Amino acid sequence: MRPLVVGNWKMNGKLSESSELAAAVVKTLKTDGRQVQVVLAPPYTALATVYRTIRKSPIELAGQNCHWEERGAFTGEVSPLMLRDLGCKYVIIGHSERRHVFHETNQVIARKVASVLQQKIRPILCVGETLNERNKGRTAAVVTGQLRLALKGIGKNDIRNVEIAYEPVWAIGTGRNASPEQITQVHRRIRRFLVTTFGDTRGNRVRILYGGSVNPGNAPDLTRAGDVNGFLVGGASLVAANFASVVHCYVH
C-alpha cells in the first residue's frame, strides 16, 4: 500500500509565507509520488494559492476541517463542495484540536465523514486518546469507540476512500511521540476493527497514519512500527526541509 504523508499547517502562515513554504516543499521533495503520496493541508485562506503552486507536482491538497452541509446559513463555515472546488482531494476530520478545543462530538464527525465522501473527497479521520485515558488503560476502548461512531453508516464501498490517523492527544505538539511499540499496539487494534467491520480485503487496504510529534529524527524509526502507513505531521511540516526529510523516509 502506498504510504501517505500529510503536512498539517494548522493556523499558521500569511499568504506570502504559505506560498513560499509550498514552493519550497515542491522544490525539496524528491519523489514523483509513486513511492509515497504527499498532501499539504494549509489554512483555508491559503488553499487557492497553495493549489496553484503544487498543481503540476505530485502533491495533493487537503482542507483541515469542513462543515457537513453543502451550503446554507452557517456563518464562518466552509463546505466539502467548496473544498472540492478549490482542488482539495483530502480533508482532515476530527483532529484532536477540533474535538477538544471546539468540542466536536463523534456524531458531528460522523456527519462530516459521510458528507465529505459524497463529495468524492477522502477524509483523514483522526482518532486518539488523552493521557488520562491512556493512564486508565482505556486507549483501545476510546479509539475503537471513536472509529465505531465516526464510521457509522459508512458502507463497504466507501471505506476504501477513508484514511485513518492515529494521533494520541498527549503526543500532538508536545515533542513527545508515542513509541513504536505503543503505535504498533494501537494500529493493530485499529486494523482489527476495520477488518471485522468491513471485511478482510477492504479492511486491510485502509491506510493508518501515525501523528504526534513526528520529526526527521524519529520518523525513520516510526516507519518501522507495525502497520504504519504514513504520517500526519504538524509542527515539522512548517519547515520544508524537515517535512521533506520525513517524506524521504519512504523514498528509496
- Give residues in contact with ligand PEP (CB under 6 A): 8, 10, 95, 167, 172-173, 211-214, 232-236
Between 167 and 198, name the residue whose CB sits nearer to ligand PEP: 167
Between 29 and 171, name the residue whose CB sits nearer to ligand PEP: 171
Q: Which residue is listed with cell 504559505?
A: 18
- Output the smallest distance, CB 39 to ligand PEP, in A: 12
Query: How would you classify the pairing of strands 60-63 and 37-41?
Result: parallel
Between 195 and 239, name the residue whose CB sits nearer to ligand PEP: 239
Q: What is the DSSP letter of 177?
A: P
Q: Which residues are catalytic?
A: 95, 167
- Output the smallest distance, CB 76 to ligand PEP, in A: 21
* Cα Rg of the chain (Å, integer): 17
- Output the smallest distance, CB 215 to ligand PEP, in A: 8
Query: In angstroms, rounded to a whole number, what is the distance separating the alpha carbons of residues 227 and 49?
Result: 34
3-class secondary-structure state, position 40 = strand
- Output the smallest distance, CB 8 to ligand PEP, in A: 4
Exposed / middle / buried, residue 224 (Cβ in 10 Å: 0-12, 13-18, 19+):
exposed
Tell me which residue has its CB nearest to ligand PEP: 234
Between 183 and 233, name the residue whose CB sits nearer to ligand PEP: 233
Which amino acid would we find at residue 252? H
Query: In angstroms, rounded to a whole number, what is the distance separating the alpha carbons of residues 88 and 5?
Result: 15
